[in-house]
Amino acid sequence: MTMTAVRKVSHGLLCTLRLGGALLLCALSAVPAAHAERLKDIASIQGVRNNQLIGYGLVVGLNGTGDQTTQTPFTVQTFNNMLAQFGIKVPAGTGNVQLKNVAAVSIHADLPPFSKPGQVIDVTVSSIGNSKSLRGGSLLMTQLKGIDGQTYAIAQGNLVVGGFDAEGRDGSKITVNVPSAGRIPGGATVERAVPSGFDQGNTLTLNLNRPDFTTAKHIVDRINELLGPGVAQAVDGGSVRVSAPLDPSQRVDYMSVLENLEVQSGEAVAKVIINSRTGTIVIGQNVRVSPAAVTHGSLTVTITEDPIVSQPGPFSNGQTAVVPRSNVSANQEAKPMFKFGPGTTLDEIVRAVNQVGAAPSDLMAILEALKQAGALQADLIVI
C-alpha cells in the first residue's frame, strides 16, 4: 500500500472516529461471533513489550535476622563500599564485622511499555545471603539496570513481607510462607524510557500469542472487511502486518479500534497432555480415535508365608522344627473390552473409560497404547 493510500485510510478512519466513533464501536460490539475473542486478547503489537530490570543492594533495619557475615563476606564488602561513598572509612584490621541487621538482596522488576520518567513500578526483593527474614527491613537506594547495562529505574522503600518465622530456645521452629522475599509496591521510580518502535514506520505488526494460520487469516479478513482490502496482510502463521497512520495520535485511535475487534480463533491442534508426576490428564476437544478395541486389566499375585511347627513322634529322639509353608494365589480383574468407533469424540472417550472404571494410571497406559497403535489422532505430550 502506498503512502497516499495509507493517508486515505487514516483520514477516512479518523473521520469515522470523530463523527460517529460511538456508533462504530456499538456496531462492532453488536456483531455476533461464535467463539470470538478480542484482538487484544489473542495478539500483541511487535515492539510493545515489558523489559526486565535487575539490581543489587542492601536491606537494613532487620531485627537480628540479617546475613551472617562470616559466611557472606560480600555483604560486609557492599556495606563498606556504601560507607566510603559518604566519606566513612572502616579501619583496616577491624576483623569480621557482624551486621545482624543488614542483608544483601537482589531486586528485580518489569518495566511496562510506554513507561515514562517519574512513573513508579513495583519491585520484588529477595535475599541472596543467609538472612532468615526480611520482615521490617528497608531497601536502600538501588539502581535497576537492563540487559544493556543502562540504569532505567531507582528503587528504595520499606518491604512488605508475607511470610514469617519463629524459633524457640529448645530449637523448635515454625515458618509460614517465605520470609526471605518481599515486595515494595511502587518502590521504584522510572528514570529512563525504553523506545518501543510503536510510532515508527507506516505499518504495525501484530504477533499472535498462539500462532495459527486459521486465526491469522481470520484477523486479516476481519480488518480488511472493516477498513478495506489490502490494509492487513498475513506475514506468516504468527504475524499480521497492518498499515497504520504516521501521526502517533492518530495511530492510538487506530489501534483502539483494531484491538477491540472480535475475531474467531482457529481451533487448537489436537493434544493429550499427561503429567506423569501428578497423574493429571488433559484431553483436548479435537482429539479423535480411530476404530480400535481396548481391554485393560491387572494381574495381582499374592504370596503369603504360613509356617507350621513339626513335632517329632513320641520316643523318636527327634527335635521340634519350624517348617515354612508358602501360599501363592493370583487374581486377575475382569475388565470388559470396549470398542472405539470411527471418529470417536472426547465425550465418547471419557464415557468408555468411566464405564470400565480406569484409574489415571490405567488411562495413561491406554492412551500410550492407542498412540503406538496409530489410533490416537492427537499429539501425546508427557510432562
Domain boundary pick from 225, 247, 264: 264
Mean pLDDT of 265-293: 81
Give the CATH number for residue 37.
3.90.76
C-alpha to C-alpha distance for 14 and 115, rounded to whole angstroms: 26
Instruction: Tell whether 90 and 182 lie within a shared domain.
Output: yes
Is the residue at 336 inside a domain?
Answer: yes
Q: Which residue has the higher pLDDT, 322 or 56?
A: 56
The answer to the question of residue 196 being in a domain is no
Q: What are the φ/ψ torsions at residue 124 (nearest 5 degrees)?
A: -115, 130
Question: Which pLDDT tens digit goes with each residue over 223-246?
Answer: 999 999 999 999 999 999 999 998
Domain membership of residue 303 (yes or no) is yes
Q: What is the pLDDT of residues 47-79, one digit of tens each?
A: 899 999 999 999 999 988 888 877 788 888 888
Which of 264, 291, 309 is at the close of a domain? 264
Residues 57 and 170 in one domain: yes
Phi, psi angle pair for 210, to nearest 5°: -130, 100
Among 245, 264, 283, which residue terminates a domain?
Answer: 264
185 and 57 in a common domain: yes
Confidence of residue 332 (pLDDT cuts 50, 70, 90): low
Alpha carbons 380 and 371: distance in angstroms, whole number? 7
Nearest to 116 by CA among 40, 226, 192: 192
Mean pLDDT of 207-221: 93
Query: 165 lies in which domain range?
Result: 51-190
Q: Are residues 82 and 176 in the same domain?
A: yes
Q: Are residues 313 and 275 in the same domain?
A: yes
Do 228 and 341 lie in a common domain? no
Clarify whether residues 314 and 232 are in a common domain.
Answer: no
| Selection from 105, 108, 123 nearest residue 183 by Cα | 123
Q: Are residues 215 and 344 in the same domain?
A: no
Q: Is residue 195 part of a domain?
A: no
**Of 315 and 247, which is predicted with more confidence?**
247
Cell of 37: 475473542
Assess if residue 177 is contained within a domain.
yes
Q: How many domains does the chain have?
A: 3
What does the pLDDT look like over 71-93, one tens digit per residue?
Answer: 788 888 888 888 888 888 877 76
In this structure, the answer to whether residues 87 and 33 fall within a common structural domain is: no
pLDDT of residue 26: 35
Domain assignment present for 25? yes
Do 67 and 42 lie in a common domain?
A: no
- pTM, two decimals, is 0.68
Give domain status of residue 159, yes or no.
yes
Q: Is the domain of 349 the same as that of 362?
A: yes
Say how far residue 113 (Cα) sits from the centre of its chain: 20
Same domain for 226 and 348, yes or no, is no
Given a contact cutoff of 8 angstroms between Cβ atoms, the answer to whether 165 and 172 are in contact is no
